């Protein structure tokens, strides 16, 4: 990985296309996968969780929904019986921060996030003080943990205004948060400081950080590679240019929705970000 410089309506329920309905978390299973070095990936409902587990304890990246907290903790205990010491939030959405309070109150974990994550969580209706990040940063922070170096970088104005990505240096694993939805149209939270152009810039930054050996944990979707992230970038660039060309020709957003995108993008539509919603995002 190359060395790089440290650089809304509330969306509290974005879910992966394979997840169980939000009203029924009882059937959700938390599955774990060893990725490399101290790093594991947990998949359940909501954003993928990154894990560093070793002699210093456990660090997790994101923590899905509150009703899944005990299941997540149980899955972590199968990886390591060590204490969960740190939680890093990649942004403020509820499918990535929902179990913050549980890990803070029950596991005494310290929560880290970009300062805008704390601001947005604190301003939410019925905000729980226990769920708020305790340590915030502007550009990033570095952990020396489990005999590895863990870099946290802020990338501005892409998915939200508080996005972070996490690079586990020695095993060369990158957790992108929701700056990468593998083989799916992404959600861009315009009302929370995100933008299409900013998202494109952030994805380009991610690509400049990694090489063909880097394993990539996306915010949603299966474990990925640089080739997958390149394909994701190509989709965004091509569909953005396509929709903007229609707009420049005077076509209304409704007409663009009616015409749709090229057939090759049909499989990227999913139950939260359909082709129609993606076109409307690009049109803005």
Give tens-digit pLDDT for 90-130. Answer: 999 999 999 999 999 999 999 999 999 999 999 988 899 99
Please indicate, yes or no, if residue 74 is contained in any of the structural domains.
Answer: yes
Beta strand residue intervals within the chain, DSSP E: 31-36, 39-43, 49-54, 57-61, 84-88, 110-114, 135-137, 140-145, 148-154, 164-168, 173-175, 215-217
Give CA–CA dist 84/93, Å, rounded.
Answer: 21
Task: Tell me, yes or no, whether 18 lies in a domain.
Answer: no
Domain that holds residue 159: 25-231
- Domain membership flag for residue 259: no
The total number of structural domains that make up the chain: 1
With 80 as the cut, is the pLDDT of residue 75 above it? yes
Q: pTM to 2 decimals?
A: 0.92
- Identify which of 137, 126, 78, 81 has the alpha carbon closest to the alpha carbon of residue 101: 126
Cα 204 to the chain's mean position, in Å? 16
- Identify which of 52, 49, 6, 48 has the alpha carbon closest to the alpha carbon of residue 171: 52
Res. 23 pLDDT band, cuts 50 70 90: low
Does the structure show a pLDDT above 60 at 15? no
Asked if the structure places residue 11 within a domain, the reply is: no
CA atoms within 13 A on the CB side of 231: 13
143 pairs with which residues across the strands? 150
Supply the CATH number for residue 131's domain.
Answer: 3.60.15.10
CB 89 within 8 A of CB 97: yes
Cα–Cα dist 157/193, whole Å: 6
Cβ-contact 64, 96 below 8 angstroms: yes
Cα separation of 193 and 227, whole Å?
A: 28
- Residue 237 in any domain: the answer is no
Residue 255, in any domain of the structure: no
10 in any annotated domain: no
- 253 part of a folded domain: no
Listing from the earlier edge strand, what are the strands of the sheet with 148-154? 140-145, 148-154, 164-168, 173-175, 215-217
> How high is the mean pLDDT of the chain?
93
d(CA 29, CA 229): 27
Which of 155, 168, 154, 227 lies closest to 195 in space, CA to CA? 155
pLDDT, tens digit (0-9, with 9 covering 90-100), for 199-230:
999 999 999 999 999 999 999 999 999 999 99
Q: In DSSP terms, which residues pair with 36 in a beta bridge?
A: 39
pLDDT tens digits, 121-175: 999 888 999 999 999 999 999 999 999 999 999 999 999 999 999 999 999 999 9
């Amino acid at each position: 990985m190359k060395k790089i410089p440290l650089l809304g309506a509330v969306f509290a329920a974005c879910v992966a296309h394979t997840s169980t309905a939000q009203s029924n978390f009882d059937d959700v299973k938390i599955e774990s996968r060893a990725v490399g070095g101290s790093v594991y990936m947990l998949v359940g409902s909501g954003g993928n969780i990154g894990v560093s587990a070793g002699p210093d304890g456990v660090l997790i990246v994101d923590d899905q929904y509150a009703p899944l907290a005990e299941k997540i903790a149980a899955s972590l205990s199968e990886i390591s019986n060590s204490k969960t010491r740190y939680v890093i939030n990649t942004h403020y959405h509820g499918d990535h921060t929902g179990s913050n309070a549980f890990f803070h109150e029950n596991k005494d974990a310290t929560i880290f996030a970009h300062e805008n994550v704390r601001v947005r969580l604190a301003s939410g209706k019925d905000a729980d003080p226990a769920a708020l990040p305790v340590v915030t940063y502007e550009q990033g922070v570095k952990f020396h943990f489990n005999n590895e170096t863990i870099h946290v970088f802020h990338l501005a104005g892409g998915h939200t205004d508080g996005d972070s990505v996490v690079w586990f240096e020695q095993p060369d694993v990158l957790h992108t948060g929701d700056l990468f939805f593998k083989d799916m149209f992404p959600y861009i939270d315009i009302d929370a400081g995100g933008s299409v152009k900013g998202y494109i810039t952030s994805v380009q930054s991610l690509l400049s950080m990694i090489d063909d050996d880097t394993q990539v944990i996306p915010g949603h979707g299966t474990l990925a590679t640089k080739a997958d992230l390149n394909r994701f970038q190509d989709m965004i660039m091509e569909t953005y240019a396509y929709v903007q060309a229609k707009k420049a020709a005077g076509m209304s957003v409704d007409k663009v929705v009616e015409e749709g995108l090229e057939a090759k993008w049909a499989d990227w539509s999913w139950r939260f970000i359909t082709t129609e919603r993606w076109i409307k995002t690009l049109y803005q």
